[in-house]
Structure formats: structure tokens, C-alpha cells
A and B are shown apart, each in its own frame.
Chain A
Amino acid sequence: MKTREQLIEDLGPRKFNRGGMVWVGFLLVLIVAGLIAYIDQLIQGQVVTNMRDYVLWGVYISNFVFFVATSFVSAIAVAALRLTNSQWRRPFVRLAEIVSLACIIMAGLTIMIDMARPDRILNLFIHARLQSPITWDVIIIPTFMAVSLLLLYFPLLPDLAILRDHYAKAKPRLRKIYGALALKWQWTEKQLRLQGRSVHLLALMIIPLGLILESIDAYLFSTTYRVGWDSSNFAPYFISGAMVAGLGALISVVYVVRRYRKLTEYITEYHFDKLGKLFNLALLVYVYFNVNEYVIPLFTSKKGESEHLETLLEGEFAPAFWAVTLVGLLLPAILTIFKRYRKPKALFTIAVIVVIGSWWKRYLIVTPTLLHPYLPIQGVPESWRHYFPSMHEWLITSATLAMALLIITLLVRYLPVISIDKLLEDQKAAVQPKTQES
């Protein structure tokens, strides 16, 4: 039994310690370096990247796809678990909402980094054409962003009110900020009903929105004639990949926050075990879709497709492909079947590897295809037949990843990482047991 004060102390906003400061500083350095590189890209043009007329999309796009995939986590870990009434979601739902929001914000930003004429961004609205998958993205990304934000915000209201009351005397400035954000929350019957219904509605919405978001992301590729992209398997393949990337990112973040904020009492081995099982399901489904994407086409692949598969399986991209497939997917899928690999530390290690694998996976989806056009690559410098990101691209990409981590870090710093209000409610329920609670 924890007191209200103790819960606030454990879960509420907490100043960065030395390690936290160093971490934030490190992220800021990466962001500033990326910003400088981006400004240079604006001045010189995208000639500073290693993209050229054949590899016309590179790490910016694969990084974008990664962010979109990772943002899917709120649809599973928040909404799906809520609708199935899985109580074990409680200690990490807020972190899932935070990860999801950070990633969709960064997805919106990274896609603009790839635009060679960001000064003409308004054309996307002024001259929008509905048949282009990019226009679909222009619609879905802000929508998903808004719903993600609300899905984080509405459940937060009681917690913000708790903090408002907590800081009432000691810190008037914080009281004012949290008070303003709490929207006069007083736990009245009407507020509770309204909030409950809103959150339920948002949870209902985020699932189809997430599915649409991931599908549109796949359609960016599968609406072209390109070998390796022109696949009706692509949208479900992307959705299942998003479950893997999202849960991997969530588990990694949950573990780090648990350790840094010493929350072992709140986020227990039981929760990791449950998360691990969900993760295992996601991994197995993704293995299935990978079989459909890479193994079955071997039987009927046309010449161009065979060449494409060959470069992945035994050619230029084979080392990366096998590392991503075996270490980043197959091995985690097998290991997480066993209970001892669902213990916090083991699961964290696996999740980090899976997230890194997921990032490279997107790289392998985007680049090799572009090196296999229908007509042979001729009449261009030899260097155009290969692609590896330039220093500018690495700096800018690192900065976007750092920005996502910074958003997560700051939200964890200023918001209760687990709902204090819900924990208090649970404790009350435990004292006066209700019969309907399972």
C-alpha cells in the first residue's frame, strides 16, 4: 500500500540527475549537428546526400518508414489491450502513448527532410491530388498525430490535477502549469463519464487509423511498378512489421525508464513476461509475412525479381539481409517463446536488437529495389550503382532519432510515467473489494 505522496514521489516529475543531464546533452549535440547538416542541405541541395537518379530514395525514407512503424505501438499496447480489458497493460500504457506520439511527430518531420523543396510544402494542400499516396499520407499522419496526442492527454487529466494539487503550496509556478493543463479537473461524475467515453472512443479510433497509416506507408511503395515493391502482400507485411518495431521500442523504453526511475515495484517481471508474449506473437506473425515476401516468390519470380532476391539472399545486401532476418527477427521469435528470455533484462536485450534490426529492415526494403530498375543502369557515373548514406544523411538521420528520444525523455521527465490516479483507484478498490472486478 502506497500513500498518495509516495506515488507522486515515485512516478511524478523528477529533475534529471547527472546521468539524465549527460543524456539530454548528448541528444542535443546530435540534434544540433543534424540541424547544421540540414541547413547545409537546404543551401546546397540534396546533392549532399548520396541519393541519385536511380537510388532516388534513401535513408531518409527508410527512417521515415521506421518512425511510422514504431508509432503503431499505441494501437496495440494501448488500444488493443484496453479493448480486450487486459489489466496488465497499466504500468506501460502511458509510455506506449509517449513512444507513439514521439514517433509520429518525427515521421512527419523526416518525410519533410526528404522533400527537396520544403519551401513549396503548401502545394501539398493547394494543389492536392487525392489519387497520390503522398496525399493520403498528408491526411493520415496529422490525423494519427492528433489522435495520439489526445490519447496521451485525456487519460493524463486526473494525474495533472493530482500534480496541480500537490504543488499547490510548494511550487506555485508548477501548480499554474499543471493546473492549466488539467482543465479544471475535479473528478466530478460528469468529467469522469466524459473522459471515460472520450478515451474509449480514441482507443477505438487509433486501431483503424494505425492500420490505415501502416497500409498507406506500404502503398507508397506498392503503387509503383518496382520489383520488390509491387506486392499485394505489402500492407499487411508493413502492419506486422510495425507491431514488431513498435513493441520492441516500447519494451526498450519501459526497461530503461524502469531502471532509471527505479520502478521495479510497479513494472514487475510479470509485466515483462506478458509483454514478451505479445512481442513473441508479433515476431511470429512477422516471420510468416517474411516467408510470403521472400520465400514464396522464389518459385515464380520473373527475371528482374530473381535478380533482386539474389542481391538480398547472396549478393551485395546479403550480410545485412541475413543479419536482420536471422538475428533481428528469427532468433528473437524463437527465444521469446521461452520464459527465461522474457525476463526483463533478457527481453530488453532482445528488444533492442529487434529495434536495430527493424531500422535496417526498412533500409533493405527501400534501397535494393531502386538498384533494380527495368532498364539497365547505363550512362551514369559508376558510383550511382551503389548507395550508402553520406555524412549529411547520417547526421540528419541521427538527429531525427535523437529528437524522438528527446521527446520521450522530456515527457517522461515532466509527466507521471504510470497513472497515479489509476493506481490510487486500484488501491481503493483493493480496500473495499468490488465483486465485478476480475
Chain B
Amino acid sequence: MDKKEPDNKRREFLGEGWKLGLAAALGGAALSNLKCTPASGKTETLMTTDGQMVEVDTGQVEEMHHMEPGHNVRKGIPGRKFVMVIDLAKCENALACQRSCNKHHFVTGDNAWLKIYNMQDSPDAPPYWMPTLCMHCDKPACVTVCPVDATFKREDGLVLIDNDRCIGCRFCMAACPYSTRVFNWNEPKQEFEMDIDMVHAMHSPEHAGMPSVKGTVDKCDFCPHQAVKGELPHCVTACPNGVFYFGDKNEDTVTNGDETVRLSELLEKKAGYRLFEDLGTDPSVYYLPPKDRIAPFEEGLESYNEFQSVEKPEEPTAEDAQ
């Protein structure tokens, strides 16, 4: 019975909110046509999120830049080849990357897109922590088997998903050897701070999870929505130890936010490798072996939960409703 509650609310919202939604969509369309001129003196009638009609100076209205990415979403950002390096020596399972990823991609299911595995390669070898995300393979098995081109490979290296096209056959999930893909088995219980229509307007393969679509596949998108802003993926900036290096293979440069290094030098110096190289998937994610670790493995065990990767929100209180 307790499960029914949010569903009903959503249905109520759907019942009542469509008029508001329509108005806001029309308003949004009008807004996007406005040029951004400071204190123009002209005013525009808009509807606020709580349904009030207000007069606003057009100068106060911000133009929505990210509605048009300036490049073909299916082709990618010209001239780029995104890569990542994950330094296992620095990972202590702090989980900040996972939390940040979950937050910024509105991951609400039971399976995070970024996971930190408790790994042990052989009985005598010591265990270590291994973060994984989508490997953005250059020969992606998932793309090969997709019957409708919903998941696709771009020239800048990214493997993305068009959630408006996915038919939910889950063949890509069966094909991926890295178990990186997650499925929206039900209507995602996502909460957005901004207007839901705004979310839908921004909906693009370049920002996975915004919003997630029931009956379709989700996964790490390598944060191209950050790249176009000149910013690093959320996991990279969140990591307290600088485990993740993100960059461009064409420029031979990767950075973890603190230091910027030559990709080839880093891989050479620290014996970089890729996961399941022998499968021939050609991942865009490199690993540096867990040599000379900054912290003992055991310290990570405190935050390790074998059965959870997405923290469930506390029961929502009235104050949360901002």
C-alpha cells in the first residue's frame, strides 16, 4: 500500500498539472525566442512555477544556451576523442564519485552507473578498489547489437543512448561485458529542482538521466554536458583523491582537476592497461595498477556495501519541497 502513495501523487500531478505544463511550455518557447538584453524596459508576462502570472523585464530572462549544443548530438564534438584514466593506487572507496554521479544524473534505481568493485585477481594477490563506468569502447558490443540505433558511437569517442528511441529489448545489456548498463524497470522516481518542462526541454542523450525514461536503458555518458561547458565530469571533480583523469586523446592530455598530464606518459610511467583487453572492445577508459597505494585497502571496507550503490533518500519531509 505504501508503494501506491507516490504513484497517486504523480497521477494527480498528471491530471492537474498538464494545463500548467502547457502554459509553461508555451512560455518557455516564447522565452527561447527572446534576445538577452539587460534591462530592456520591455516586459513579458510569465507564469511562475506556482501558477502566478508575473510581469518580468526581458533583461532578467536568461537565454537557454544549452538547448542547442552547437554540434550534432549523434556525431559528437568535432576534433575531440575523450578518454579517462583511473588510478587504482589512489582509490580508497570514498564513494564521492558515485554519490556525485548519482546526484547529477538523478540515478534513483538500485544500480549505480559508476560502481566501485571490491576486486581480487587471484587468491594471493591483495584486494583493491576498482571504480568502473561505461568504457565508451571504440568497438562497442552494445552498439553492434542494438536493433534501432538507439545506442550509438560518436566520433568523439562517446557511446550514448537515445532514450526516445530505445525499445527496451535489453540486448545491449546482454552484450556489454562490463555490466555497465542499467534498466528503468519502472517509472523512475526522480525529483528535479527545476521545472519538469525545463527538464524535458533539456532532455538529450548528452545528459543521461535527465530525465530517465521508463522501459529504456541508462548508463554513464562521460558527461558531454560538462565538456561543452569546459568542465570535467562529475565523478572527476568529486573524487577527493584525484583518482579520475579525464581528457582528450587527440591532445594527449588528461587532468584530474589538480594536475594535468600527458596521457601517453602517464600510461607509460604507470603501466596503464584496459579492462578485458583481450575481448577486443577497445575501451576509452584506462587503468593504472594499484601499486604504492595511498591508503590500505581495509579503510575502504567501512564505506563498502556489497548490496547498495545508490543511497535511498530519507523519507521526504515537507521542508524538502522547496
Contacts and interface: CB of A to CB of B under 8 A. Distances in A.
Contacts of A132: 144-147, 171
B193 to A, nearest CB: 25
B308 A128 contact: no
A19 interface: no
The number of chain A residues touching the other chain, given as a range, is 35 or more
A370 interface: yes
A37 to B, nearest CB: 16
B253 interface: no
A380 interface: yes
Summarize A's interface: helix, strand, loop or mixed: loop
Interface stretch (B25-33, B60-68, B107-115, B286-294): B107-115
B93 to A, nearest CB: 11
B276 A378 contact: no
A51 B173 CA distance: 12
Interface stretch (B46-54, B161-169, B225-233): B161-169
A128 B309 CA distance: 35
A52 interface: yes
A225 B279 contact: yes
Given A56-B183, A374-B177, A116 B216 contact: yes
A132 B148 CA distance: 8
B47 to A, nearest CB: 31
B192 interface: no
B179 A45 contact: no
Nearest to B187: A45
Contact of A115 (B149, B167, B178, B181): B167
B23 interface: no
Contact of A45 (B132, B165, B186): B186
Contacts of B149: 127, 129
B36 interface: no
A134 B117 contact: no
B306 interface: yes
A57 B111 CA distance: 17
B174 interface: yes
Contacts of A131: 144-145
The number of chain B residues touching the other chain, given as a range, is 35 or more
A124 B179 contact: no
Interface in A370-409: 370, 373-382, 384
A225 B111 contact: no
B177 A47 contact: no
A134 B183 contact: no
A189 interface: no
Interface string A112-151: 0011110011011011110111110010000000000000
B241 interface: no
B20 interface: no
Interface centre among B110, B115, B169 (most CB of A within 10 A): B169
Given A47-B186, A132-B147, A223-B145, 8 more contacts: A45-B184, A56-B170, A133-B171, A225-B177, A379-B307, A379-B309, A380-B308, A381-B307
User: What 3 A-B pairs are tightest by C-beta distance, nearest first?
Assistant: A116-B168, A379-B309, A116-B215
18 contacts: A45-B184, A46-B183, A51-B185, A53-B179, A127-B165, A131-B145, A134-B147, A220-B171, A221-B174, A223-B144, A223-B145, A225-B177, A226-B177, A376-B118, A379-B111, A379-B112, A379-B115, A379-B305
Interface of B: 110-112, 115-119, 132, 141, 144-150, 165-171, 173-175, 177-179, 181-187, 214-216, 276, 279, 305-309
